[in-house]
């Protein structure tokens, strides 16, 4: 049970602020969340937010940073395990995709409300213009390791295709974690977007097949290619 905000009971102020901010940012977005709201939810004062984090932007950056290491650690942990079981052969695409996407989606799904909020923040930040620099800073190092692994699995595949496939994978993963409920509506309830485990099970073969086809035909670019938009009207 959470005690009242008696100064020396429960988590320290700094932690309470981070938790409150995480939840509010995930729900309303960066700009629509005020330091006032955060202070109130954290049962403290605005001054304390400034004291601990200087300003709103640094608070946000702190938030994004603080869980990124755990995600990276789990990703690399799974990748290392796969490397060991397949060496000296290359790791199958599906296992690489699994190692990259599962930690993120598992934490989103079953590690509590705070991780859920965190992954929603990352999802909504990803397609924005404003914070992509932050994502690169904290997520690109591990992404680079995974790209190297994909390169071993698809040695004849062009760099462009490899990286494109990787970003497709990331988009799908983030779309799942966003849990917008769009699929629920489109499927009349055959899918619930909160059922991340089940969606993951469909995502995995979907992305694996995509990568494998990219890695295949390094000559012809499949049938058709781009068409023209209807010129009428």
Partner DNA sequence: GTCTATATGGAGATAGAC
Partner DNA sequence: GTCTATCTCCATATAGAC
Q: Counting contacts by CB under 8 A, is residue 93 touching a copy of itself?
A: no
Min. distance of Cβ 42 from DNA in angstroms? 9
Tell me how far apart the 2 most distant CA atoms of the chain are, in Å.
71
Closer to DNA by CB, 12 or 77: give it: 12
Residues that bind DNA (CB under 7 A): 7, 12-14, 33-37, 44-48, 50-52, 54-57
In the DSSP assignment, the letter for residue 74 is H
DSSP state, residue 131: S
Q: How far is the CB of 32 from DNA (least distance, A)?
A: 8
Q: Which two tokens stand for residue 165?
A: 């496939």
Tell me if 219 contacts a copy of itself by CB under 8 A: no
Closest to a copy of itself by CB, 17 vs 126, is 126
**Is 140 near a copy of itself (CB under 8 A)?**
yes
Give me the torsion for CA of 93, 94, 97, 101, rounded to 10°: 180
What binding mask, one character per residue, do residues 161-180 give for a copy of itself by CB under 8 A, x or -? xxxxxxxx-xxx-xxx-x-x
Q: Is 115 in the site for a copy of itself (CB under 8 A)?
A: no
User: Does residue number 86 form part of the binding site for a copy of itself (CB under 8 A)?
Assistant: no
CA torsion sign for 146, 87, 91, 97 is: negative
Cβ-contact 178, 107 below 8 angstroms: no
Encoded tokens for 45: 């004062």
Contacts of 191 (CB under 8 A, 6+ apart): 183, 184, 198, 199
- Closest approach of a copy of itself to the CB of residue 120, in Å: 7
Task: Work out whether 96 is an interface residue with a copy of itself (CB under 8 A).
Answer: no
7 makes contact, choosing from DNA, a copy of itself, none, with CB < 5 to 8 Å by partner type, with DNA
């Amino acid at each position: 049970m959470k005690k009242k905000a008696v100064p020396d009971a429960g988590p320290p102020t700094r932690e309470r602020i981070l938790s409150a901010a995480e939840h509010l940012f995930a729900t309303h977005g960066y700009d629509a969340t005020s330091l006032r709201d955060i202070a109130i939810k954290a049962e403290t004062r605005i001054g304390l937010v400034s004291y601990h984090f200087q300003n709103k932007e640094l608070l946000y950056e702190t938030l994004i940073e603080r869980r990124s290491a755990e995600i990276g650690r789990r990703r690399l942990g799974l990748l290392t395990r796969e490397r060991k079981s397949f060496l000296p052969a290359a790791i199958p695409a599906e296992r690489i995709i699994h190692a990259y996407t599962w930690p993120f989606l598992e934490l989103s799904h079953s590690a509590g409300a705070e991780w859920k909020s965190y992954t929603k923040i990352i999802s909504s930040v990803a397609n924005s213009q404003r914070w992509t620099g932050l994502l690169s800073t904290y997520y690109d190092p591990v992404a680079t390791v995974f790209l190297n692994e994909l390169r071993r699995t698809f040695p004849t595949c062009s760099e462009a295709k490899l990286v494109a496939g990787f970003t497709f994978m990331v988009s799908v993963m983030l779309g799942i974690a966003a849990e917008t409920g769009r699929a629920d509506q489109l499927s009349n309830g055959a899918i619930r977007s909160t059922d991340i485990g089940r969606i993951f099970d469909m995502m995995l073969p979907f992305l694996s097949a995509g990568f494998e086809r990219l890695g295949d035909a390094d000559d012809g670019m499949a049938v058709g290619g781009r068409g023209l938009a209807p010129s009428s009207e």
